[in-house]
Every structure is written in structure tokens, then in C-alpha cells.
Chain A
Amino acid sequence: GENVEQHPSTLSVQEGDSAVIKCTYSDSASNYFPWYKQELGKRPQLIIDIRSNVGEKKDQRIAVTLNKTAKHFSLHITETQPEDSAVYFCAASITDMRFGAGTRLTVKP
């Protein structure tokens, strides 16, 4: 089955800096790659997603890139703000979704 690896497990940046989280997946048939933000005790919130026919997608300060050949995808957050602090999960999906282990992002004011 699909296996998703996510790095780093923790990331601390200064407010205004950029943050990058990387994921790799194992099943080349995966065709949908969402990123979720989860605050403590809350539901995961979809922040951006990308499909396998697209290499890059951007939404304001958030961007995702996908390299199908290498089977990896990355989340980029620019101009980070303290409210970006949360746990971020990547996922890869064919019919069901497999999650990475998560990255705890801390943005220091």
C-alpha cells in the first residue's frame, strides 16, 4: 500500500521567514496530494491540494510543488505569521488517503 514520509517532524522559524515541508510517497498511482493544517484538538483543515497533472499550485502565501518522477511534493509557506503555528500533514491518495507523520511548525514572533 501507499507509504507517505514527511520531513521535518518539527520546524521552527522566525516570523516573516519561509517554511518548507517535504513529503515522499511510494505508490506511483497516487494522483491527489492535499495538505492539512491541524490545531490541537481540532479537525484537519485543507489548506491546499494538487493533482498529479499539475506541477505547482499557489494560493497567496502557500504553494505546493509536485515532482511525479521523484514521487515527492513540498509545501512552501512564505512570510510566516505566528498564526501559522500548527501541525501540518501531507497526504497522498488514490481512492483513500494516507497521511504523513506530520510537521509541527512553530513561528516565533
Chain B
Amino acid sequence: GAVVSQHPSRVICKSGTSVKIECRSLDFQATTMFWYRQFPKQSLMLMATSNEGSKATYEQGVEKDKFLINHASLTLSTLTVTSAHPEDSSFYICSARAAQGTDTQYFGPGTRLTVL
């Protein structure tokens, strides 16, 4: 089956630092990747959609300058949380979709970000 990995699984950082999270599709090429944020006991909220080789599309209310997304290849997308603050602490999950016209999204294991 399709496997998506995420790294790191857990990160603790000081306020004001930047954190990069990687999302990789291991056994398929992902034309589209999605980034979600999930606060405790809440649902997954879509942050942005990224297509390989083009700029990400951000959801309303998500700051593109704070959450930098790069989808440089068909197997890798990165999310960089810049100048992180305690309110950015959350569970960040990526997902990948194999090809245009397919529906199924495969989720990564998530990254638990804690900003002190």
C-alpha cells in the first residue's frame, strides 16, 4: 500500500525559532500534498494544498509567510513554521494524493510540535 512518512515525529523548540517538517511519499509519486493542523481533541484543519512545482494554495486565515510550504519533487513536501510561538504548538499532519483524478489521500504519521 501507499506509505507516507513524516519527519520529525516530535519536536520541541524555543519561541522565535523556525522548524521544518518533511513529508515524503515512499512508494508512489504524489502530485498533490496537503498539510493539516490538529489541535487536541479537535478535527483536522486543512492549512494548504501544494502541487509539485507550483506555489501552495493556503486556506483562509493561514499565513503563507509564517507557514512556508515547498513541494520541490514528486515525493517530498516541506512545511516550515517560521518564528514559532507557543500558539503554534499542535499536531501537524501531511497527506499525499497519487495522481490527478484520484481521490484517496494517504496520511503521514504526524509531527507533534511544542513551542516553549
A residues at B contact (CB < 8 Å): 31-32, 34, 41-46, 49, 51, 89, 93, 95-102
Are the C-beta atoms of A89 and B44 separated by less than 8 Å?
yes
Ranked nearest first, the 6 interchain pairs of A and B with the lowest CB-CB distance are A32-B103, A43-B107, A99-B43, A99-B44, A43-B109, A101-B43
Residues from 33 to 79 in B contacting A, C-beta threshold 8 Å:
34, 42-46, 49
- Which residue in B42, B104, B112 is a CB contact (below 8 Å) of A101? B42
**Binary contact track B74-114/A, C-beta < 8 Å → 1, others 0:** 00000000000000000101010000000111011110100
Range, interface on chain B = 10 to 19
Interface residue SS majority, chain B = strand
- Which residue in A31, A34, A43, A98 is a CB contact (below 8 Å) of B104? A34
Q: B6 CB to closest chain A CB, in angstroms?
A: 8
Are the C-beta atoms of B109 and A97 separated by less than 8 Å?
no
Are the C-beta atoms of A44 and B108 separated by less than 8 Å?
no
- Chain B neighbourhood of A42, CB < 8 A: 109-110
- Chain B neighbourhood of A32, CB < 8 A: 103
Complex Cα gap A99–B43 (Å):
7
Complex Cα gap A51–B102 (Å):
11
- Which residue in B34, B42, B110 is a CB contact (below 8 Å) of A43? B110
Complex Cα gap A93–B103 (Å):
8
- Which residue in B34, B42, B108 is a CB contact (below 8 Å) of A97? B34
**Known A96-B49, A97-B34, A97-B46; contact A46-B104, beta-carbon cutoff 8 A:** yes
